[in-house]
Amino acid sequence: MQNFDPFTIAILVAAIVVFLKLRSVLGQKTGHQEDLSDLFDREKDKQKREDGANADNVVKLPTRQQTNSSDPDEKDPRLAHIDKIAKPRTKVNKGLKQILEADNNFNPKEFMAGADMAYEMIVNSFAQGDAKSLKSLLSSEVFEGFKSVIDERESRGETVKSTFIGIDESEIQSAEVKDYEAHVTIKFISQIVSATYDKEGVIVEGDDKDIARVKDVWTFARDTRSNDPNWKLVATEAGA
């Protein structure tokens, strides 16, 4: 059996005691310790302050992507919207872009929303015999056609009761610029309840209960040189 030196044993015991004390201290937080997240936050705040102080002296240069973009749709969102409502490289698509080129104020999205509103207003005004409202929405030629129908209806003592339910579909069928005048032809499919009554109150046309599915093809036009932003209805025909 090997003899142990008492001094060696004492050193070993002291080392064990020191190790245990260090472990207990390292496993606890004291008032002088800081969370690492706090240190990172302070560093971020410091960097922000430095960046802010130097912001006035920094000129941000455009990136390569910004300067070398070759996609025209990225420069004008209206071009991208045209591609949504008319397939690229089609005649309609090219016609709408031709209108945009001739009239920088042309917005295809706003135009379609306005065309839907105009369609409803014209249908309702015509049914009510409101020639005054129609005059501002129609070309002189189309207005005369609508007005003559209204006058004939009134001369016979007929009245129309109509309820416009809504537009199911509106689709651009053609678009072009003719001698500075933009033309857009739209096919509308709508639902309307309409009946025409004679002076005795008897229905002579239509049905006051049946919902009719109406198809119309209307052409709107506007002089691209004019300061007047309004489009007018210049041609109508029944849809197939």
Residue 162 has pLDDT above 50, yes or no: yes
Residue 29 has pLDDT above 50, yes or no: no
Other C-beta atoms closer than 10 Å to the C-beta of 173 total 15
The secondary structure of the chain as a DSSP string is -PPPPHHHHHHHHHHHHHHHHHHHHHTS--TT---HHHHHHHHHHHHHHHHHHHGGG--PPPPHHHHS---HHHH-HHHHHHHHHS-TTSHHHHHHHHHHHH-TT--HHHHHHHHHHHHHHHHHHHHHT-HHHHHTTB-HHHHHHHHHHHHHHHHTT-EEEEEEEEEEEEEEEEEEEETTEEEEEEEEEEEEEEEEE-TTS-EEEE-SS--EEEEEEEEEEEETT-S----EEEEEEE--
pLDDT of residue 63: 32
pLDDT of residue 74: 57
- The whole-angstrom separation of Cα 120 and Cα 61 is 50
Other C-beta atoms closer than 10 Å to the C-beta of 10 total 10
Task: Read off the pLDDT of residues 33-45 as tens digits, 9 standing for 90 and up.
Answer: 444 344 344 544 5
List of domains in the chain: 72-238 (3.10.450.240)
Confidence tier at 50 by pLDDT (50, 70, 90): low
The more confidently predicted of residues 165 and 45 is 165
Confidence tier at 60 by pLDDT (50, 70, 90): very low
- Asked which of 20-29, 153-162, 175-184 is least confident by mean pLDDT, the reply is 20-29
